[in-house]
Structure 1
Amino acid sequence: MGESKKKATRSGWNVSPSGISKDVHATRMHTLIDDFCEHLDLVVGRSAATIRGYRSDLYAMAEVVGDIDRFTLPKLREWLGIAVDEGRSRATLARRTASVKAFSSWAQKNGYLKVDEAARLVSPKINRELPKILGEQQAGDFVENAASSSEEEFLRDSAILELLYATGMRVAELCGIDLGDVDHDRQMVRILGKGNKERVVPFGDAARDSLAKWLDVRAAMAKEDSALFVGVRGKRINARQVRRIVDRAAKVSGVDHLSPHSLRHTAATHLLDGGADLRQVQELLGHSSMQTTQIYTHVSNKRLLEAFNKAHPRA
């Protein structure tokens, strides 16, 4: 078994969604869905979380459509219509449409369908809201407000908050960092991002100092040799634990509804506000498309307009 295949298995994307048993639903459609997910993993290099999402959507589709011989445009519209009747959000409908369109294209190219049946499906437009961000002073206060039950956890949580804000990395990326990925002298960290794409990003003095303090006490908590951050049981920390750390710090700081991803948005916006080039921010965040990064220019422009309206005497 190849390394990426092992990684996919450990990540759990090939585990059937809750309530769906492969033994019960051992149909040709489900076999094709599994093959498609393997293609996404081994050939396309999609992340385990993305593959789990595709697989969950496609298994739900199979419950309505049935076998591949009944995979037709009317049946797909029926499936999406059921989702509308159930009150599913536009974002969910858009994601399901994207999943089934990708599967349909793959199935047609591999000879399982004569026609790309889903090609004519229209995805609903999503009104993208500007991401929630913190001001510079707010961000500085926030990362210093780790709320933890022990000294070791406080130092770990402080290092996590500092590193998230310093690098703009995703939670899953932070959880995957090993001790050997951090170059303390150069203040750089190697990150494995979406699609197993590797990048190296810098971090500042505040994150460096917090990491050093955490590493001084890490041995008292760790039962795993390689992971940079560990949970209370000594194993590699997971995304749910990191979200709790961020949530506790948000409550102490008086910030409502702040997620780890908000720190990513905040880091990107502050970099642009400070004069960083959009291409540099794209590389730092690990975005494959410049279009994804451009949303932060709208945030910066909005903040600039607000500052102008408050400060300029002729505004």
Structure 2
Amino acid sequence: MARHGAELLPEGPSGLVRPAADYLAHIELERGLSRNTVDAYARDLARYLTWLDRRGVRAFEEVTAEDALAFRAALADSGLAPASTARIAVAVRRLHDHLVAEGTAAADPVAQLSPPALRDSLPKALRLDEVEAMLAQTAGESLVQHRAAALLELLYATGARISEAVGLDLDDLDLEHRLVRLYGKGGKDRIVPLGSHAAEALGTWTVRDRPALAARSGGDRGAVFLNQRGTRLSRQSAWAIVTRAAAAAGLDEVTPHTLRHSFATHLLEGGADIRVVQELLGHASVVTTQIYTRVTAQTLREVYASSHPRAR
């Protein structure tokens, strides 16, 4: 059975492909990164390996600082978003760090290169009325509407990642005590409270509608969210449910992660302690959570600038 991510690497010289595959196995099995994260690394490294192969490089021992600079220049000219080029650069840097640590390469050709500049952008958060406008699009009595309501309420009530939401099993829900267990990155789990609206929507979905889908041939009797075939709802399908509700509410560029950002921002604006928000989001470090304090500070500045008579 192929290692996670390794099947996404291109065909090429074994001196490139095999060490990259070993690195992907390392970050999955030893560091415990999720399959989605490993696959993301694989896709980024596939671009790097393909570029090296075309340049005539057959093994990582042959990669020079000149090659590293040329690859960075190629990324800059590729038309990719700055965040994407920075992410690929990080994947390449960590691969070479690993190769040196394992003795596969004697030197790190990217060690002296500074990370590419990345514009510091704040995560987008919806206003409360915008969230409510999205949720209003799920009102109705159909199975599809109940599923959409349960999914959107869950995402906004818990700040769950979309992969955590579709990975939920019935055993992870405690609707009586309004709690849900989420499994995050690295296999770490956390308990997050559910608001009354989310608990009610999930109760309606799991009791009234889900059993009919679970009874269908090939049904997944454990998954909370099922598709029309009775199998676990995919990330892509869940993403589409969110974007359809946003479009119906007249909102642009809304993703499942937007609801996660909104969850964190609204908690902090309501006075929640940042350490509590860190735990609820499943962040390993509070530094990651601190970006949301800048979101709320920006909101305060905007309100001040528009409201105070001597702000301008």
Provide TM-score, normalisation by structure 1: 0.89
**What is residue 266 of structure 2 aligned with on the other side?**
270
SS in 2 for 1:53: helix
3-state secondary structure, aligned to 2:191: strand
Q: What does residue 58 of structure 1 align with?
A: 45
Q: How has the CA–CA distance of structure 1 residues 169 and 118 changed in structure 2, closer, same or farther, with 3 Å as cutoff?
A: same
Q: Distance between the aligned counterparts of 2:170 and 2:255, measured in 1? A: 25
Aligned-partner Cα distance in 2 for 1:45–1:251:
36
1:211 aligned partner: 202
Deviations 1:127-151 (A, max 9, x none): 1322222212221232231289x81
Deviation (angstroms), 1:102: 0.7
CA distance in 2, matches of 1:227, 1:278: 32
What are the within-5 Å matches in structure 2 for residues 102-117 of structure 1? 102-117=94-109
Letter in 2 for 1:61: Y
Aligned residue for 1:3? none
For 2:128 and 2:103, how far apart are their aligned partners in 1?
55
TM-fit CA distance, 1:186: 1.6
Q: Partner amino acid for 1:200?
A: I
Paired residues, number: 301
Whichever residue aligns with residue 289 of structure 2, its letter is: T
2:132 maps to amino acid: G
The whole-number CA distance in structure 1 between the counterparts of 2:190 and 2:81 is: 34
> Which residue number in structure 2 is paired with residue 125 of structure 1?
117
> Is 1:248 matched with 2:277?
no
Shift of 1:314: 4.9
**What corresponds to 1:101 in structure 2?**
93
| Aligned equivalents of 2:255, 2:199: Cα separation in 1 | 23
**Structure 2 contact 126–262 (Cα < 8 Å) conserved:** yes
Q: How does 1:196-235 map to 2 (within 5 A)?
A: 196-215=187-206, 216-222=208-214, 223-235=219-231
Structure 1, 210-219 or 109-118: larger mean CA deviation: 109-118
Give 3-state SS (helix, strand or coil) of 2:110's partner: helix
Equivalent-residue separation in structure 2 for 1:296 and 1:213 (angstroms): 32
Q: CA RMSD in A?
A: 2.0
1:214 deviation in Å? 0.4
The structural deviation recorded for 1:68 is: 2.1
What is the aligned partner in structure 2 of residue 169 from structure 1? 160
State the alpha-carbon separation in 2 of the partners of residues 133 and 207 from structure 1: 19
In structure 1, distance between residues paired with 2:305 and 2:80: 39
- Structure 2: which amino acid aligns with 1:232? Q
Q: Which amino acid aligns with 1:123?
A: P
Give the secondary-structure state (helix, strand or coil) at the position aligned to 2:182. Answer: strand
The Cα shift of 1:115 comes to 1.9
Residue 139 (str. 1) matches residue 139 (str. 2) = no
- 1:16, 1:258 → 2: CA distance? 28
State the alpha-carbon separation in 2 of the partners of residues 257 and 104 from structure 1.
35
1:191-210 Cα distance to aligned partner (Å, 9 max, x none): 11011111111110000110
Q: Does 1:77 align with 2:69?
A: yes
Unaligned runs of 5+ in 2: none
User: In the alignment, is residue 286 of structure 1 matched against residue 282 of structure 2?
Assistant: yes
Q: 1:127 to 1:234 in 2, by over 3 A?
A: same
Structure 1 segments unaligned to the other structure (5+ residues): 1-5
Match of 2:174 in 1: 183
Structure 2 CA distance for partners of 1:194 and 1:85, relative to 1, 3 Å: same
What one-letter code is carried by the residue in structure 2 that aligns with 1:44?
R
Contact 2:61–2:106 (CA under 8 A) maintained in structure 1: no
What CA deviation, in whole Å up to 9, does each residue of 1:169-218 have, x standing for no partner? 10011010000001112211111101111111111000011011101211
- Report the Cα distance in structure 2 between the residues aligned to 1:272 and 1:89, rounded to whole angstroms: 29
**How much does 1:305 deviate?**
2.4
Correspondence for 1:37 among 13, 24, 35: 24
- Between the two proteins, what is the percent identity of the paired residues? 36
